[in-house]
Chain A
């Protein structure tokens, strides 16, 4: 009798416990909580459609690998029968290799059809696009597709198809070059045998300003971004260097030493006339970088000892030091990410130069390079997801701006003065 009573009591208690512990009636035991972080594993298998298909896969996997959000899976690990699958896929085969997304495509003489599959959605593609090939380079179409993929996942425009300007060093000379962000289609912007340095893209993408010693003095010139005859913009006595465009393209922040000491000035983008002097300090103030919202200018100053990064209002006033780690910090560049205040710069750490980012709001620093040579002069991609920089004696590299993944070389040779152009126009 006692056993019966106990059994009833236990059943009642258990029922109460179940009612309490099962909010959705599914008997959940353990909460497993994870933060959204890290790269999205994506597979970009090569379609069995000949040389054009191979080029597509090459360009596509490179684009996505530097997009800042994807981890492109090694094709050697794929288990799927690509020929049998065609434009479709067997989700389990891709799940087994750790893919979250898979891109398939089919190329014909007239068009290229792309399909993006999310493994969780099975055999139904999440995104399908068909591009006409007429008159367009295959790589241009692939860049366009990859921008669509980035937009699908992040809601942000991609930077594939954008360009990078840089200084290519020769024997006794240096020239301004521009190229696709992935190193393709490089061409000379400056055409003289002098020293040409520090290129900066206009926000419109149509012009590049740079410093040239072609008339002995370091003067500022503006040239069409596609190359062509440059126009002298600023030829003040002494230095005319380090130009940075205002976001609206109407003004430039520059370093002038017309009064003897290098200071930051704002000049007109149309005629080079001085609009305002921003700094006034006996120390050297140089390397201005205009913030994406136009309100602030970052620059380098040794007013407190070694060179450090300072920020000042674009209207002038007191400057505040923002870099404190490292004794030698130079070449600031602002992230264009909306709502963020992040600066990338070159930091000397011991005997090496590395790229770091500093969030001015949270003070969080992220190291972009480490133990990989001498790295300098960072420039953000138009969406802020990637950073290009020069590695001394090796070339130009592109890395994820959050410090993840490996930097990819996009240009081999002696280069410096990297600047990333605006987003490509559709």
Chain B
């Protein structure tokens, strides 16, 4: 069976196409022609082949760098027609309402606090009240107050119970009074009394005013429970 010229041409064209496809397809595939593939090493950790350990990229120490302040050109124009701003010319102040008599804005059914006292005024000391733990946790001013006591019972101090003593702070940071609401009658009591005495001596010699957020503590007894840390 003999092929015609036209049939031979078709077969040769198809064969050439198949051959070309077979030769170039692998090249295209392995050359990354397969769409949006990420670089292979992007998700890999570089390993030093010689000793096979994970390589941590070294950071070169950097000096702290501050961005230079941007200098805004002022009063200089490259446009001859532009008029520089006149600093002397100031805006008219906004008209404000007259607040000399604020009571006229008050309504009889308002439920806010009466006006008249500054909000930092803690009020008078009420000797019947004592402070609460929640408002003092982790406060730096109280932490320093605690530190100034230098509470450290001697190694051989006798006693297991925890004395509880209170002080009366004034807003300027002085301590004007103290009392014991739990006297354990042992060496720990002596240590606690020494701590309060030390605190009073330190704070009355150089008072550290009570911060605004703790001013409420000046209206009642501020109490301390003296415990012993386990070694």
Chain A positions near chain B (C-beta within 8 angstroms): 2-3, 6, 17-18, 20-22, 26-41, 69, 95, 98, 100, 118-121, 153-154
Contact assessment for B189 and A120 in the assembled complex, using a CB-CB cutoff below 8 Å:
yes
A26 to B223, CA, bound (A): 9
A376 to B155, CA, bound (A): 28
Return chain B residues, CB-CB under 8 Å to A2: 109, 111
Return chain A residues, CB-CB under 8 Å to B11: none
Contact assessment for A29 and B131 in the assembled complex, using a CB-CB cutoff below 8 Å:
yes
User: Besides the contacts A30-B136, A36-B155, A118-B158, what 12 more A-B pairs have beta carbons closer than 8 Å?
Assistant: A27-B131, A28-B164, A28-B223, A28-B224, A29-B217, A30-B146, A30-B225, A34-B229, A35-B228, A36-B231, A98-B194, A100-B157
Contact assessment for B130 and A39 in the assembled complex, using a CB-CB cutoff below 8 Å:
no
Contact assessment for B132 and A17 in the assembled complex, using a CB-CB cutoff below 8 Å:
yes
Contact assessment for B152 and A37 in the assembled complex, using a CB-CB cutoff below 8 Å:
yes
Beyond A28-B224, A30-B224, A35-B228, whether A118 also contacts B154 by CB under 8 A is no
| Complex partner residue of A120 from B155, B186, B222, B225, CB under 8 angstroms | B186
| Complex partner residue of A32 from B111, B154, B157, B224, CB under 8 angstroms | B224
Contact assessment for A120 and B130 in the assembled complex, using a CB-CB cutoff below 8 Å:
no
B106 CB within 8 Å of chain A: no
Return chain A residues, CB-CB under 8 Å to B184: 120
Contact assessment for B152 and A40 in the assembled complex, using a CB-CB cutoff below 8 Å:
no
Contact assessment for B158 and A153 in the assembled complex, using a CB-CB cutoff below 8 Å:
yes
| Complex partner residue of A100 from B129, B131, B190, CB under 8 angstroms | B190
Contact assessment for A26 and B111 in the assembled complex, using a CB-CB cutoff below 8 Å:
no
Report which residue of B152, B156, B229 has the largest number of chain A beta carbons within 10 angstroms of its beta carbon.
B156
Beyond A2-B111, A95-B193, whether A21 also contacts B132 by CB under 8 A is yes
| Complex partner residue of A37 from B155, B187, B221, B226, CB under 8 angstroms | B155
Beyond A3-B111, A98-B194, whether A41 also contacts B154 by CB under 8 A is yes
Q: Mark B184-217, 1 if CB is under 8 A from A, else 0.
A: 1111111111110000000000000000000001
Contact assessment for B190 and A120 in the assembled complex, using a CB-CB cutoff below 8 Å:
yes
Contact assessment for A29 and B228 in the assembled complex, using a CB-CB cutoff below 8 Å:
no
Contact assessment for B190 and A29 in the assembled complex, using a CB-CB cutoff below 8 Å:
no
A22 to B142, CA, bound (A): 19
Return chain A residues, CB-CB under 8 Å to B228: 33-36
A27 to B127, CA, bound (A): 12
Return chain B residues, CB-CB under 8 Å to A22: 132
Q: Nearest 3 pairs between A and B by C-beta?
A: A27-B130, A29-B131, A40-B154
Q: How far is the CB of A128 from chain B (nearest CB, A)?
A: 17
Contact assessment for B195 and A21 in the assembled complex, using a CB-CB cutoff below 8 Å:
no
Q: How far is the CB of A241 from chain B (nearest CB, A)?
A: 38
Return chain A residues, CB-CB under 8 Å to B155: 36-40, 69
A130 to B77, CA, bound (A): 104
A118 to B184, CA, bound (A): 13
Contact assessment for B157 and A40 in the assembled complex, using a CB-CB cutoff below 8 Å:
yes
**Interface band, chain B:** 35 or more
Q: How far is the CB of B227 from chain A (nearest CB, A)?
A: 5
Return chain B residues, CB-CB under 8 Å to A26: 130, 164, 181-182, 223
* Chain B: CB-nearest residue to A71: B154
* Chain B: CB-nearest residue to A118: B187
Q: Could you list 23 A-B pairs, sorted by A, with CB under 8 Å?
A: A17-B132, A17-B134, A26-B130, A27-B130, A27-B181, A28-B225, A29-B130, A29-B136, A29-B222, A29-B223, A29-B224, A32-B149, A32-B192, A32-B227, A33-B226, A33-B227, A35-B231, A36-B155, A38-B152, A69-B154, A118-B187, A120-B186, A121-B186
A32 to B146, CA, bound (A): 6
A32 to B162, CA, bound (A): 10
Contact assessment for B157 and A31 in the assembled complex, using a CB-CB cutoff below 8 Å:
no
Return chain B residues, CB-CB under 8 Å to A27: 129-132, 181, 221, 223
B153 CB within 8 Å of chain A: yes
* Chain B: CB-nearest residue to A3: B111
Contact assessment for B225 and A31 in the assembled complex, using a CB-CB cutoff below 8 Å:
yes
B122-143 residues at the A interface, CB under 8 angstroms: 129-134, 136, 142
Return chain A residues, CB-CB under 8 Å to B223: 26-30
Q: How far is the CB of B111 from chain A (nearest CB, A)?
A: 5
Q: How far is the CB of B190 from chain A (nearest CB, A)?
A: 5
Return chain A residues, CB-CB under 8 Å to B149: 32
Contact assessment for B152 and A34 in the assembled complex, using a CB-CB cutoff below 8 Å:
yes
Beyond A34-B153, A36-B228, A98-B194, whether A29 also contacts B133 by CB under 8 A is yes
A73 to B39, CA, bound (A): 79
Q: How far is the CB of A26 from chain B (nearest CB, A)?
A: 5
Return chain A residues, CB-CB under 8 Å to B182: 26
Contact assessment for B134 and A20 in the assembled complex, using a CB-CB cutoff below 8 Å:
yes
Contact assessment for B151 and A69 in the assembled complex, using a CB-CB cutoff below 8 Å:
no
Q: How far is the CB of A346 from chain B (nearest CB, A)?
A: 26
* Chain A: CB-nearest residue to B131: A29
Contact assessment for B154 and A100 in the assembled complex, using a CB-CB cutoff below 8 Å:
yes
Contact assessment for B156 and A28 in the assembled complex, using a CB-CB cutoff below 8 Å:
no
Q: How far is the CB of B66 from chain A (nearest CB, A)?
A: 42
* Chain A: CB-nearest residue to B165: A32
Beyond A17-B134, A40-B154, A154-B156, whether A30 also contacts B229 by CB under 8 A is no
Report which residue of A3, A6, A28, A95 has the largest number of chain B beta carbons within 10 angstroms of its beta carbon.
A28
Return chain B residues, CB-CB under 8 Å to A95: 190, 193
